[in-house]
Amino acid sequence: MQLNTQQHTILIAGCGDVGSTLGQLLTTQGKEVIGLRRNINQLPQGIQGISADLSQFDDLKAKLQGIHCDIVVYAASAPSFTPEAYQQTYVDGLKNIINSLDSPPKHLFFTSSSGVYHQNDHGWVDEQSPCLPSAFSGQIMLEAEQTALSTEYPATAVRFTGIYGPNRNHLLNRVSRGDVAPESPTQFTNRIHRDDCAGVLAHLITKALNDEPLETIYLATDDTPATMYDVTHWMAQQLSIKVISESASRRAGSKRCSNQRLKESGYSFKYPSYKEGYSALLDPDR
């Protein structure tokens, strides 16, 4: 397959939900986008596909031969919540991509997670906060970040908090059944809409292409950390659902994530809080 590799070509490795949304946004900006994933039939129109498995180095090397990418975005998602899947996806796959590139990109972006933080005291965290995760997921994600940042070319890790949006309806479905979070114990949750995930990455990519300085780490989350109690009870009110039960969700720590660095870089959120984001999901025409 002949790929169009004009100037400002962006390779999105692991081009799933966030990657495809990013790719569509970048194509509207006139950039050439290559999406790498196993099944390229699911790629949106306008994204040029490469069918490859991130775990297969030789195949990746062959598929990427002769292709120069100005920007590489590593946006893969582990297929299951196991140490093996995390290691293969986030560390080994990233190394395979890095070692498969024919020429160094202008910048590498790695989509990371706020799961690298261990804090559980309801306090604020930012890019300077220590990261001492006890869970395998946070430990492996931190190792992947270090892998990305140790390359010989510029790289940035973007730590996304809880992503929600179209087809990510777990919490809405739970509330629809009348189940909400209790007021105690307090659990702060940090969220970002899928469209803002794509917007953040597009914003940082533009800065990189314009040779503007970038930090090595950005914490990507909306303006409004909130308790699970507030979020789920607000949803129940919007849905006119009668509360039947209260149950604590799986503990993922309780902290408040700051997006100050990201906002200082010039990014403006499409959905600055869960209220705007979930309202758009509940009523797409509003």
Residue count of the chain: 286
pLDDT digits (tens, 9 = 90+) for 166-204: 989 899 999 999 999 999 999 999 999 999 999 999 999
Could you list the residue range(s) of the whole structural domain that residue 135 is in? 9-166+191-222+252-270
Q: What is the pLDDT of residue 285?
A: 61
Do 71 and 22 form a contact (C-beta atoms < 8 A)? no
Q: What is the pLDDT of residue 5?
A: 40
Do 265 and 203 form a contact (C-beta atoms < 8 A)? yes
**Does some domain include residue 178?**
no
Query: One-letter amino acid identity for 244?
Result: I
Cα(148)–Cα(129) distance, rounded to whole angstroms? 19
**Does some domain include residue 275?**
no
Do 173 and 278 form a contact (C-beta atoms < 8 A)? no
Structure tokens at 224: 């409004």
Q: What does DSSP say about strands 188-189 and 226-227: parallel, antiparallel, or unpaired?
A: antiparallel
Query: Which residues in the chain belong to E strands, given as ranges?
Result: 9-13, 32-37, 48-51, 71-74, 107-113, 124-125, 155-160, 162-164, 179-180, 188-189, 191-193, 217-220, 226-227, 245-246, 256-257
In which element (H, E) is residue 262 found? helix 260-264
Res. 3 pLDDT band, cuts 50 70 90: very low
Of the candidates 104, 10, 4, 1, which has an alpha carbon nearest to the alpha carbon of residue 52?
1
- Residues 58-78 have a mean pLDDT of 96
> Is the full-model pTM beyond 0.85?
yes
- Residues 259-280 have a mean pLDDT of 97
Give the count of domains, the chain.
Answer: 1
Do 74 and 148 form a contact (C-beta atoms < 8 A)? yes
**Does some domain include residue 132?**
yes
List the CATH number of the domain containing 138: 3.40.50.720
Do 117 and 253 form a contact (C-beta atoms < 8 A)? yes
Cα(139)–Cα(157) distance, rounded to whole angstroms? 15
**Does some domain include residue 282?**
no
**Does some domain include residue 71?**
yes
**Does some domain include residue 175?**
no
**Does some domain include residue 94?**
yes
What's 194-237 look like in SS3? HHHHHHHHHHHHHHHHCCCCCCCEEEECCCCCEEHHHHHHHHHH
**Does some domain include residue 2?**
no
pLDDT digits (tens, 9 = 90+) for 220-261: 999 999 999 999 999 999 999 999 999 887 666 799 999 999
pLDDT digits (tens, 9 = 90+) for 102-158: 999 999 999 999 999 999 999 999 999 999 999 999 999 999 999 999 999 999 999
* CA 100 from centroid of its chain's CA atoms: 23
- Residues 86-103 have a mean pLDDT of 97
Query: One-letter amino acid identity for 132?
Result: L
Asked whether the predicted pLDDT for residue 33 surpasses 70, the reply is yes
Of the candidates 60, 63, 155, which has an alpha carbon nearest to the alpha carbon of residue 105?
155
Cα(271)–Cα(162) distance, rounded to whole angstroms? 14
* CA 11 from centroid of its chain's CA atoms: 16
